[in-house]
Amino acid sequence: MIGLIDCNNFYASCERVFNPKLEGKPIGILSNNDGCIIARSNELKPLIPMGMPAYQIPSKIRKQIILLSSNYELYGDMSQRVFDTVQNHTPNIELYSIDEAFIRLDGFADITAHCLKIKNVVKRDTGIPVSIGIAPTRTLAKLANHIAKKQAIYQNVYCLPTDEKSLKNILETFSINNIWGVGRHIANKLNRINIHTAWDLRQANLKYIRNNFSVTLERTVLELQGINCIKLDDLSTAKKNIMISRSFGRLTSKLFDLQEAIRLHASRATEKLRQQQSVASAILVFLKTNRFCDNSSQYHPSIVVPLSFPTDDSRLIISAAQKGLLAIYKQDFLFMKSGVMLLDLKIKNRYSQLDCFATPLANPSLHKNDKLMKTIDTINQKMGKNTIQLGGIQKSAPWQIKRQLLSKRYTTDWNELPLVK
């Protein structure tokens, strides 16, 4: 059996661990730039829909609720604590997202009892409430988790029945909108051919689904039937591309602002590249104007700049990015967002083995570059982001993201530890 463990209202719960006054209150977490609602406590859910832009919140409601900027340093660290704790009780764990993981539950006599114990230990040791859904496949475990969360009698741990009749009763009341892998568009299309519930979809004709939808949805149907066919990448599998992009806290048309932003994005992307021990063959640079502004002219350029050989050297990648920026920049637009994407990533060592034109016994200057990059990474890891930067000095710029409602980094910064009085 497979369990899906999911943290309840994760971001809101993290904030509550260190600020108990938030307990029982309607709280919401905002996206970057304090833009829109990306997480809600249970108390907020009836008041505000997911994804609502902050400026659209009626002022009457705004007064009764607490909004916070997203604090990813805190959430990332809490996530690690939660899943370290889980791992102590079920070693076989697949991390899926910042607040979810699948666990293998074979070999436990009473699976539900074991999961109740995990739930309690995680709450005791980290302060985070979790729900666990149990079923034969990942898709069904997600479904079971949904029930565990929604129906109070299960106390957040629910094991899906396996006998056909009970299963039918459950799936017949479960809307396809809540099935993992079925989004809004697919759900509408399915409704049109009279498939409304998880049971309907489970009975659907596989060939028909594959021909009229996709192999992905076909897999979902199989998983609903109890046949495992969705595998997850484990954490060690390298990404195929790496993107960094941010909206500006304030629109800008200045080349200098864009150069600084692109430099930081390219730096950060290349750090991630080195972390997964890959090299990039090309970099894409893009700009966007404000797409919500009807009366200003729109311009969404992008360009791919090939690198003369696959590399993970920040200096080469930053300068290629700047070259790309100059090629697409036009001064008479107000830009809203910029970003870079590293493309066609390859495993670093494999590349050097295959490169028959490389100087034998490694070019000493290449080796020196590696050491330089490693040194920069180590210092930045120890002393904090951007302690060493390449070719930039701006500490804070007007275009940087807005985070006016940020809580402290209680667990990752010596200067922001919680005080006990």
Return residues touching DNA (CB under 7 A): 31-33, 35-36, 38, 51, 53-55, 96-100, 142, 179-187, 214-216, 233, 239-247, 272, 290, 292, 336-337, 339, 401
Q: In this complex, which beta carbon is closest to DNA, that of residue 118 or of residue 336?
A: 336
Give min distance, CB of 421 to DNA, in A. Answer: 35
CB-side neighbour CA atoms (13 Å) of 309 = 10
Q: In this complex, which beta carbon is closest to DNA, that of residue 25 or of residue 272?
A: 272
C-alpha distances (whole Å) from 283 to each of 127, 299, 311 are 42, 20, 11
Give min distance, CB of 97 to DNA, in A. Answer: 4
Give min distance, CB of 247 to DNA, in A. Answer: 4
The SS3 call for residue 289 is: strand
Q: In this complex, which beta carbon is closest to DNA, that of residue 369 or of residue 389?
A: 389
Give min distance, CB of 359 to DNA, in A. Answer: 32
Closest residue by Cα to residue 26 from 61, 54, 71: 61
Q: Cα(418)–Cα(54) distance, rounded to whole angstroms?
A: 28
Give min distance, CB of 77 to DNA, in A. Answer: 17
Q: In this complex, which beta carbon is closest to DNA, that of residue 272 or of residue 408?
A: 272
- Phi/psi for 327 (5° steps) reads -70, -30
- Which residues are 338's β-sheet partners? 246, 287
Give min distance, CB of 184 to DNA, in A. Answer: 5
Q: Cα(421)–Cα(410) distance, rounded to whole angstroms?
A: 15
Closest residue by Cα to residue 80 from 63, 62, 101: 101
Q: In this complex, which beta carbon is closest to DNA, that of residue 293 or of residue 417?
A: 293
Burial 348-357 (b: 16+ CB within 10 A, else e): beebeeeeee
Q: In this complex, which beta carbon is closest to DNA, that of residue 74 or of residue 114?
A: 74
